[in-house]
Structure 1
Amino acid sequence: MSLVNVALQILPSGLEKEKAYHAVDEAIKVIAESGLKYMVCPFETVIEGAYTEVMETVEAAQQAAFNAGAADLLVYIKLQRSKNKEVFIDDKMKKYK
């Protein structure tokens, strides 16, 4: 199993501000409940785990935003994966802690 990192930003469109924030909170809740390591940042949430599990969580987070009232989403995904090593959030963040 090779670990990857995904930076996920979900932006609900067509909702008033508070409802949009609620939709994002519901997406983050799904990520938190996934059991995967994650870090909420100001513009995106970074998720660490096996590729398949991470991508299933990305899909579930989008569905949670839809279920919270969003009709349309702008979804931005950045993926880091390596052929030869596992990718960890801490490798990028340790010098800032």
Structure 2
Amino acid sequence: MANALLSIQIIPKTKNGEDVIPFVDEAIAIIDQASVRYEVHPLETTMEGELYELFAIVEKMNERMIELGSPSIISQIKVLYKPDGASMDTLTEKYR
């Protein structure tokens, strides 16, 4: 079982005020390629996995934003770390 949940809102700065949605799409593609469980929400994406693995994904997302031409990125993250197990389902089951 995973030991962490990490929610991220990535906000890349664009050079000339371009739309950030293509950048966000690329960030979500990084998550998808990592093969962790995730859910996309309107203002953030939540991932489920091992803490070290999730932070590595955040690093890759930020690096990709730079590759795409963003001069800087704000990554707002929230982390739930629970060594004996953490899951999105457990936290949200009473609402479904």
TM-score band, normalised by shorter chain: 0.7 to 0.9
Shift in Å, 1:17: 4.0
Report the TM-score when normalising by structure 1: 0.86
Runs of 4+ in 1 over 6 A off after TM superposition: none
Q: Provide the residue aligned with 2:37 in structure 1.
A: 37
3-state SS in 2 of match to 1:62: helix
Indicate conservation of the 8 Å contact 1:23/1:69, yes or no: no
Distance 1:2 1:10 in 2: 23
Q: Provide the residue aligned with 1:96 in structure 2.
A: 95
Task: Trace 1:29-68 onto structure 2 (pairs within 5 A).
Answer: 29-68=29-68
Q: Provide the residue aligned with 1:79 in structure 2.
A: 79
**Aligned residues: CA RMSD:** 1.7
Structure 1, unpaired ranges of 5+: none
Indicate conservation of the 8 Å contact 1:30/1:57, yes or no: yes
Aligned length: 95
Give the fraction of aligned pairs with identical amino acids, expressed as a percent.
Answer: 27
